[in-house]
Homo-oligomer: A and B are copies of this chain.
């Protein structure tokens, strides 16, 4: 069933049928009615390929999800997809490994798919610096600040990771902790974790505490399994830490499990702070003290920014989303630590 069949069946030309289908104003009501009757009767749906070919139209929004097992991204993704759907846009989603090059992938996908816009959930700024100039589509990067890159078509939306990390360390220090470990992330300075480490360092300095990354930091990927083993490594090399700052909630969950397995209770024996504020952090035992990034808001704002850029050719913007230190049950004051 094509537009041609509808034309024949309704007695009008394909041009007129096309106009009816696209709600073109200059069609008589009578004609519109008759054509639509046939369309409805046959449940006709125009061929998107032909339409797009003719209109040189882009199809859909492509979303790169960097890193699997990332609950925050899963959260944002779902909401973004729903919002896109409400706006009549389709989402093509690609899950990438935490170490994959999302920009190269996007370039490939862009050629094949010709999407209208790109959304990146996480990413490595280094990859953007290297090859994002080959992308001219409106794009938005979430949970990373891309302002320093200066690409005119790349907006970004992020919490102030440095400030948030500082606040976490400040808080732990205020609770009497002096020996604090940091779990997660990649030492490379282009990774999402770098600014968080920077925030930690500045807080340690402000509080006149030494900060020896080799001794206090244990890098790991963003998953429960990696958090689990990283926590064990940290405790092995630095058994006297009284608090751990995990760079994501899933890492924190893995770490808490590891600590329990080592016979250390949280928070009685050791405190743990997470990052992200995923739903799980409200249901874990103990509930997590964590930095909450507002997934709903990020999804909403991210989609808005992207759609604005697509439809109104607005310039790229870089926004900071407020964060919130949510108090759970995973932190104790040191004097209470046995």
Interface, chain A (partner B; CB < 8 A): 45, 47-50, 52-53, 57, 59-60, 68-69, 74, 77-78, 81-82, 85, 90-95, 111-114, 223-225, 228, 253-254, 256-257, 260, 279-280, 282-285, 287
Contacts and interface: CB of A to CB of B under 8 A. Distances in A.
- Number of copies of chain A assembled together: 2
Contacts of A78: 68, 95
Contacts of A279: 69, 223-225
Contacts of A48: 112-114
Contacts of A112: 45, 48, 90
Given A47-B53, A49-B49, A279-B225, A94 B81 contact: yes
Contact of A285 (B59, B69, B284): B284
Nearest to A77: B95
Report, nearest first, the 5 A-B pairs whose CB atoms are least far apart.
A45-B111, A49-B53, A49-B52, A257-B283, A224-B283
A224 B279 CA distance: 8
A171 B49 CA distance: 55
Contacts of A223: 279
Contacts of A47: 53, 114
